[in-house]
Structure 1
Amino acid sequence: MGVKLTVNQLNEAWIASGDKVTDFNDQINMALNDDNFSAEDMSELKNKRDNEKVRRDALREQLVEAQAEQVVNMREEEQVPLNKSENELKDKFVKDFVNMVRNPMAFMNTVSSNTNNGTDGEDSAAGLTIPQDIRTTIITLVRQFDSLQQYVRVENVTTLSGSRVYEKWTDITPLTRMDAEDGLIPNLDNPRLTIIKYLIGRYAGIITATNSLLKDTAENILAWLSSWIAKKVVVSRNKEIIALMGAVPKKATITNFDDVITMINTAVDPAIIATSNLYTNQSGLNKLALVKTAEGKYLLEPDPTKPNTYIVKGKRVIVIADRWLPNGGTANAPIYPLYYGDMSQAITLFDRENMSLLATNIGGGAYETDTTKIRVIDRFDVQATDSEALVAGSFAAIADQVGNLKTTATTAG
């Protein structure tokens, strides 16, 4: 029995199949212009093209069915229909997107003529701004793609730069106890504040649009666009978050399971232990999962509330792909990462919420290949806010626990 494909997998397969059909058509056109024309080769190309067409159309039907099933299975609170103005905005966005892809230069002239002089300058040449309701769909998809953003603090901002003041948990001092009702209330000591500055960066990616895409329905265009952008957003933001994780304080190398427990109990301030988690990569999880108790049972416990997740002393083990959080050491002697703490206290992501699209059929190799390139720009910054809220450990191997039960020998009287 085959594995059921998800909506995202069906969407990707449908787009890839459409690309193949376009490639076969290009090959047929080239063959017709070839002096060494072969009827046998032409027949083979047409058969491949026609078979791929059938596959493409079947994938599209499955995608529509899966999308409909996904809507039916949505939680009740998520099934909020768009109002009239939101529907009109969505329809206008799809229309503008298709126009932008079909005729980028004409679209840019329209954007330039409609530019508001009150903008900050960067948006006037940004292309097509993605509206709020579609950004909401993208954010929903982001949560499905193993995004680290869900563990850090996210602050929405409207300016390119700014600053915030933070006070660490460990630096907060208590109020003074006043025994006398008429006693003089003393001044508080000056808190040790840290100023965190952010500067919004532009993170961009480009994809090639197929001709078949523009002939599709508005819903499928939005599904394709939202899925593509969501994956790009996750990869970009994960990379910046992991870079900051690598700069947190280091703890002693872990050699046994008692070291893991000590890390959980003592590595961060008690005030944030309740909201702290363990973080490792796939290889690290596998090593931890193989550690056994003195009775031969595995020390990692499955989380009964979440399938395929583990906990250690009530702390969830969050797994990051090896390609994003690689091992240290060498291939023959890897060193596995193990982080612990509250990422929402340690790292803040400043999100400008201003994604935009721009297309060209001339630059980026589009002219040479007779295609259209679509560029997406995401705007955000990631900053460390509390250097003591997350710590890093590492381990090469963790020894199994050794039994400490002793038997007392008895002698017959």
Structure 2
Amino acid sequence: IPETDQPKFTKLSYSITDYAGLLPLSNTLLQDTDQAIMTYVAKWFVKKSVATRNVLILAILDGLKKVEFKGLDDIKKTLNVTLDTAITSSAIIMTNQDGFNYLDQLKDADGKYLLKDIPSEPTNKMLFGRRVVVISNKVLKTKAGKAPVIVGDLKEAVVLFDRQQQSIDYTNLAAGSFETNTTKVRAIEREDVVAWDKEAVVYGLLSISE
């Protein structure tokens, strides 16, 4: 039996950072309202957590070399040729609201929209059989009439080191809460994001200006 090729390992350094937030709430509000304020706050912190991770991941991707996408053919070529076949099968197409709006209006010769519904998720779209992920313009910005279109497998491109998933706690006695009649809600998570396989994604800039 011949020996197989050997896997190669390398060290990947990371630095864990605490990401935290403190939100004071009026005890009077909590007592008098019939709304589930604490439940809403918990969901709000979850959204903040997702936004934090998006910012960390996009900061890594922003350091990649940018390539010009003149149109859909360049996106298709990226999937067919530029990316490794092992990557393109799990690739997504990530863009911002401007890029999605541009892609969502494209039609074929028969007047049918090129973006298709994902059968099991009617509110989500796919292009060339790949999921289209939309990020807010506030986070992923359009510059000089060019929208970012990131094609590839982000799970291969970056690694998330999650040392503490978001934990939420509160007090109505400590940290000045007693003196101000407030309840202070604290959320903390500890993580870092580093680049792994830079060839797993292509960072394209698609011209969307007419």
Per the shorter chain, which TM-score range?
Answer: 0.7 to 0.9
The 5 A counterparts of 1:239-254 are 239-251=55-67, 253-254=68-69
Q: Percent same amino acid among aligned pairs?
A: 35
Q: 1:302 to 1:287 in 2, by over 3 A?
A: same
1:377 partner amino acid:
I
CA distance in 2, matches of 1:210, 1:200: 33
Q: Map 1:273-288; keep pairs closer than 5 Å.
A: 273-288=88-103
Q: Does 1:383 align with 2:199?
A: no
Give the gaps of 5 or more residues in structure 1: 1-177, 179-184, 400-413
Q: Are 2:137 and 1:322 aligned?
A: yes
Q: Secondary structure at the match of 2:133?
A: strand
Letter in 2 for 1:386: D
Answer whether contact 2:168 2:185 (CA < 8 A) is retained.
no
SS of the residue 2:111 aligns to: coil
Aligned to 1:230: 46
1:341 paired residue among 135, 152, 162: 152
* Corresponding position of 2:176: 362
1:186 and 1:226 map into 2 onto residues whose CA distance is 54
Counterpart contact for 2:99–2:208, Cα < 8 Å: no
- CA deviations on 1:319-376 (whole Å, 9 max, x unpaired) are 11111111122xxxx210101111111122111225354655539xx96x66454332
1:292 aligns with 2:107: yes
Q: Aligned letter for 1:246? A: D
Q: CA deviation at 1:397?
A: 3.1
Which residue matches 1:122? none
- Using the TM superposition, give the Cα deviation of residue 193 of structure 1 relative to its aligned residue in structure 2, in angstroms: 3.3
Cα distance in structure 2, aligned partners of 1:186 and 1:230: 49
Aligned residue identity for 1:266: V
Larger relative contact order (C-alpha < 8 A, sep ≥ 6)? Answer: 2
Shift of 1:241: 1.4
Secondary structure of 2:90's match?
A: coil
Equivalents in 2 of 1:245, 1:298: separation in Å?
Answer: 29
Give the number of equivalent residue pairs: 206
Give the superposition deviation at 1:245: 2.0
Please give the root-mean-square deviation of Cα atoms over the aligned residues, in Å.
Answer: 3.0
SS in 1 for 2:66: coil
> Radius of gyration: which is bigger?
1
Deviations 1:114-158 (A, max 9, x none): xxxxxxxxxxxxxxxxxxxxxxxxxxxxxxxxxxxxxxxxxxxxx
1:194 is aligned to 10
- The 1-side partners of 2:5 and 2:89 are apart by 28
Equivalent position amino acid for 2:14 in 1: Y
Higher strand share: 2
In the aligned structure 2, how far is the partner of 1:273 from the partner of 1:340? Answer: 9
More helix by share: 1
Q: Distance in 2 between matches of 1:302 and 1:362?
A: 51
Quote the offset at 1:225 in angstroms: 4.5
Paired residue for 2:24?
208
Determine the structure 1 residue equivalent to 2:81: 266
CA distance in 2, matches of 1:199, 1:299: 42
Q: Is the 8 A contact 1:202 1:378 kept in 2?
A: yes
Q: Which runs of 5+ in 2 are unaligned?
A: none
- The letter of the residue matching 1:350 is F
